[in-house]
């Protein structure tokens, strides 16, 4: 052996001795492996199997014909006439049932063991090869017409049916004497898992993250076959639910003595800029067959803006020792006083500082587990008169509601796409998000933590009473406690979460004392899991004097604050009616903070403008009143709403008149798939401040003018291309954070307008159209503030492309979003352009999806041909695996100069 070889061997032995002495060998510490690739997928087209979770009632209702705020009702019952697998699935949730007497015992037998898809030797080579996260419906064709199997409410895509996923797991002999779990972050829905032909468990609610213990079913020293069945019913949602395993899947390997699933809880009390008392609870499980002497050591490090941390701990908890009996668990509790804590606070006024706790579990002197927990130190105060205080500073919630889909990417979670959404919300001035109406991806909460958003985390859209025939009410009685506890344990360490919402517009609002009793039961569960945050339930019907409103800590009102169908323009409509109700709720509940958890529900289509324009500040959309039934579009003058809604202007008026309200959440921040009110033959909503493709509607600037009052801005609408309207009246509105403005047409002043009390826009409603330039100069407190110009474009000439970044990471889910615009010879966007665009790509990337933000465009998101919508379209690019170099994207259209852009794949 030469000297070099001797040195290498010596270094290896020293390293091995070091690892053994400190318990850091790979065979003893936790492994968390992302199961992204290698999956095979199959969905039944015309047939199915009999491996059902439970029977369901027949559907005899068109959910698209139901009013969005209609009263929930009792669900139909169904009787099982065949074997169902519910009894084998229920034990998966036992860890989340407090009462041991209610734990479910697994029956004898192994349902499905002879079914081919769960067998190791089944040939799945003809199945589709996919990566997870996966949405099986999003790249398919849209259904059209009223008789579609999936209508507009659920997004007109084939989300329904049964899908199977198969993959092989390599389990080595070194994994023996370990606990091995499958962690599924989200599967839509009724997931059931087989491993080596054995039914291991499952979870029916499609939004809950859950864990399956694979250990009893594994074969060591070779391949193990996993098979997952997903069963997604039609008529089960009021929005696009997605389909399949749409969030990450992990293989987790631990010692038999380990930190339990979501087993840490870190809270802070007595917080100031000088000190904070940080409390730590750690649940440690001993799954071995003998008692273990366990020692726990936890150190905490400050995270920088990139989520990195140094070698020296900022603070540590005192080590704790405890004997844990065989097959038992124990909650270790500790506290430490932290000097000069770096506080987490909402952007932009405060800094979202975060820490990471590294918990090490020793049995004797051997390190057997290491578990990390990210958290923040911050104080919250909820004042009935003055609203929310974070770290002693008043914060008005400028919030939006967000559904969980990512537009043309569907529900398959992607960090790049989610970050793009949040960045644009920051730009408009948003500082808070309500997760409507279900737990989000954990990665989304990582983003809200790091970017400094406030979050209302929500779990249920209904309880026992149904909104759609096959929604969660079917499994509520069996699963509400498990879902609720799992939801909170998973999310409770995220500092961005400031309150828990355990219901949205539930039917139990209507059932007086009975509904209040059920609400109290759910409220108690939340408090048992986390007493540091307040609870809430959003109410669109329950009135201030009703028992339902007394239960939760925070009063959350959907649309009631500014009034429902109460303005003159809404007087002819049927449905829930309510006067502006903030004062009444304050009178009945003087000790509770009030939040406008859903407001506005205004609708518009980017770049569409119809005349005449409504003279007041809010009106329900109708054909000829802001709506065009022929092309299923809504005017972008941003005055029109759904029947139960209000315009932004009306909402602002009410919020300003009731300063005790802690803030509001717009319905919605972004357009989302499904619920295309008022045009249910479309595919996506019209509610967003930002359209489905990520292009700003005019309403974006209206909210920016209100939320960012110190930011100099002005925005003119409409566009100025009205070639067939010479000398016709074209109303001009300006959204500005200033308080007055002067409008010029081709250099000639059209007069000055000022904002008066209760006004949030400047209106010149009598402008006669002449082509050329519209220019506005705005003022604030008498001083020049901001200006904006729109010009009549010439005829379409070329295609312009711009990307949100120049390089893309290969072998990742990193995405680039490329905006495509139809422009004239001067580079001005042609705001009425509807040209057909043809997309192509060459090199180290692929086109993932195309879109244009048009809710009524039923072109598949996978299509490489798409019309521009009012001058714009979007193409989403992803790097190919194992490719380094450049990628070039072309967009062509007949009669136009082609557009091209080159991107780096690195």
Q: Which two tokens stand for residue 770?
A: 């002449």
CA 111, CA 116: separation in Å to the nearest integer?
Answer: 12
Is 598 known to be catalytic?
A: yes
* H helices, E strands: number in the chain: 9, 50
| Alpha helical stretches, state H, 757-814 | none
Q: What end-to-end distance do the CA atoms of the chain give, in Å?
A: 41
Catalytic residue among 529, 562, 598, 742: 598
Phi, psi for 238 (deg, rounded to 5): -95, 0
CA 93, CA 211: separation in Å to the nearest integer?
Answer: 9
CA 670, CA 692: separation in Å to the nearest integer?
Answer: 6
| Alpha helical stretches, state H, 633-719 | 648-657, 698-707
Q: Is 625 strand, coil or helix?
A: strand
How many Å is the Cα radius of gyration of the chain?
A: 29
CA 844, CA 619: separation in Å to the nearest integer?
Answer: 50
CB count in 10 Å sphere of residue 283: 18
Do 458 and 706 touch, CB atoms closer than 8 A?
no
Among candidate residues 315, 318, 316, the one with its CA nearest the CA of residue 295 = 318
Can you say whether the dihedral through the CA atoms of 620, 625, 628, 629 is positive or negative? Answer: positive
Do 885 and 844 touch, CB atoms closer than 8 A?
yes
Catalytic residue among 287, 505, 638, 821: 505
Phi, psi for 9 (deg, rounded to 5): -65, -45
CB count in 10 Å sphere of residue 411: 27
Q: Which two tokens stand for residue 837?
A: 């665009």
Please work out, in degrees rounded to the nearest 5, the angle formed at the alpha carbon of residue 740 by the alpha carbons of 734 and 742.
Answer: 70
Instruction: Write the DSSP symbol of residue 420.
Output: H
CA 455, CA 452: separation in Å to the nearest integer?
Answer: 9
Where in the sequence numbering do the catalytic residues fall? 505, 598
């Amino acid at each position: 052996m030469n000297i070099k070889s001797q040195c290498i061997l010596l270094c290896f032995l020293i390293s091995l001795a070091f690892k053994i002495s400190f318990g850091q060998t790979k065979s003893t510490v936790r492994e968390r492996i992302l199961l992204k690739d290698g999956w095979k997928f199959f969905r039944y087209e015309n047939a199915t199997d009999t491996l059902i979770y439970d029977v369901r009632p027949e559907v005899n209702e068109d959910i698209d014909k139901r009013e969005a705020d209609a009263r929930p009702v009792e669900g139909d019952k169904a009787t099982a006439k065949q074997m169902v697998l519910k009894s084998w699935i229920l034990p998966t949730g036992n860890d989340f049932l407090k009462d041991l007497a209610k734990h479910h015992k697994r029956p004898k037998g192994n349902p499905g063991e002879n079914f081919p898809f769960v067998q190791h030797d089944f040939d799945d080579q003809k199945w589709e090869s996919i990566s997870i996260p996966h949405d099986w419906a999003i790249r398919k064709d849209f259904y059209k017409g009223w008789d579609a199997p999936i209508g507009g409410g659920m997004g007109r895509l084939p989300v329904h049916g049964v899908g199977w996923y198969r993959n092989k797991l390599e389990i080595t002999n070194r994994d023996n004497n370990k606990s091995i779990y499958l962690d599924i972050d989200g599967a839509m829905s009724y997931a059931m898992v087989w491993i080596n032909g054995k039914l291991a468990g499952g979870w029916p609610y499609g939004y809950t993250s859950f864990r399956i213990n694979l250990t009893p079913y594994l074969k060591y020293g070779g391949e193990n076959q996993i098979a997952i069945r997903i069963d997604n019913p039609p008529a089960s949602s009021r929005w696009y639910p997605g389909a399949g395993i749409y969030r990450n899947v992990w293989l987790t390997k631990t010692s038999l003595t380990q930190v339990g699933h979501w087993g840490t809880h870190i809270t802070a009390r007595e917080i100031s800029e000088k000190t904070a008392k940080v409390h730590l609870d750690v649940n440690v499980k001993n799954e071995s067959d003998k008692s273990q002497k366990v020692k726990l050591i936890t150190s905490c490090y400050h995270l920088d803006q990139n989520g990195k941390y140094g070698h020296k701990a900022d603070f540590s908890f005192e080590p704790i020792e405890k004997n844990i009996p065989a097959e038992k668990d124990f909650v270790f509790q500790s506290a430490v006083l932290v000097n000069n804590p770096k506080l987490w606070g909402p952007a932009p006024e405060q800094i979202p500082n975060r820490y990471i706790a590294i918990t090490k579990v020793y049995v004797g002197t051997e390190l057997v587990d290491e578990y990390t927990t990210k958290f923040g130190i911050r104080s919250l105060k909820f004042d009935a008169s003055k609203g929310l205080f974070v770290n002693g500073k008043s914060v008005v919630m400028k919030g939006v509601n967000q559904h969980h889909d990512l537009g043309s990417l569907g529900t398959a979670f992607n960090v790049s796409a989610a970050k793009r959404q949040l960045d644009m919300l920051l730009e408009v001035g948003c500082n808070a998000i309500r997760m409507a109406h279900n737990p989000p991806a954990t990665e989304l909460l990582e983003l809200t933590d790091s970017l400094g958003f406030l979050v209302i985390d929500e779990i249920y859209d209904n309880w026992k009473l149904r909104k759609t025939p096959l929604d969660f009410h079917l499994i509520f009685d069996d699963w509400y406690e498990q879902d609720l506890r799992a939801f909170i344990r998973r999310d409770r360490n995220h500092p961005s979460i400031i309150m828990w919402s355990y219901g949205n517009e539930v039917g139990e609002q209507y059932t007086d004392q009975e509904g209040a009793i059920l609400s109290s039961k759910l409220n108690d569960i939340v408090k048992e899991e986390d007493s540091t945050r307040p609870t809430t339930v959003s109410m669109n019907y329950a009135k201030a004097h009703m028992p339902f409103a007394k239960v939760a800590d925070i009063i959350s009102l959907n649309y009631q604050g500014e009034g429902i169908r109460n303005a003159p323009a809404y007087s002819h409509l049927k449905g829930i009616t309510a006067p502006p109700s903030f004062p009444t709720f304050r009178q009945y509940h003087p000790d509770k903070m009030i939040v406008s958890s859903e407001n506005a529900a205004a609708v518009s289509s980017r770049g569409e403008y119809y005349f005449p324009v409504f003279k007041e500040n809010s009106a329900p959309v109708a054909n000829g009143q802001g709506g065009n039934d022929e092309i299923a579009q809504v005017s972008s003058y941003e005055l029109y709403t759904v029947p139960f809604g209000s315009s932004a202007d009306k909402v602002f008026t009410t919020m300003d008149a009731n300063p005790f309200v802690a803030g509001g959440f717009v319905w919605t921040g972004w357009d989302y798939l499904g619920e295309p009110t008022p045009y249910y033959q479309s595919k996506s909503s019209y509610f967003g401040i930002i359209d489905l493709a990520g292009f700003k509607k005019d309403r974006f600037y209206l909210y920016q003018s209100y939320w960012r009052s110190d930011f100099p801005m002005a925005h003119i609408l409409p566009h100025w291309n009205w070639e067939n309207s010479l000398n016709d009246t074209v109303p001009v509105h300006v959204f500005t954070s200033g308080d007055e403005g002067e409008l010029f047409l081709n250099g000639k002043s059209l007069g000055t307008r000022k904002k008066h009390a209760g006004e949030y826009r400047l209106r010149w409603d009598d402008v006669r159209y002449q082509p050329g330039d519209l220019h506005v100069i705005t003022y604030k407190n008498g001083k020049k503030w901001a200006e904006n110009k729109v010009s009549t474009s010439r005829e379409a000439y070329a295609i312009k492309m711009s990307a949100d970044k120049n390089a893309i990471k290969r072998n990742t889910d990193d995405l680039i979003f490329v905006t495509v615009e139809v422009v004239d010879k001067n580079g001005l966007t042609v705001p009425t352009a509807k040209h057909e665009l043809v997309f192509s790509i060459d090199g180290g990337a692929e086109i993932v999806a195309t879109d244009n933000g048009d809710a009524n465009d039923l072109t598949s998101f996978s299509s490489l041909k798409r019309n521009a919508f009012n001058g714009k379209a979007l193409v989403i690019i992803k790097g190919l695996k194992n490719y380094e170099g450049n990628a070039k994207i072309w967009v062509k259209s007949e009669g136009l100069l082609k557009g091209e852009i080159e991107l780096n794949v690195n």
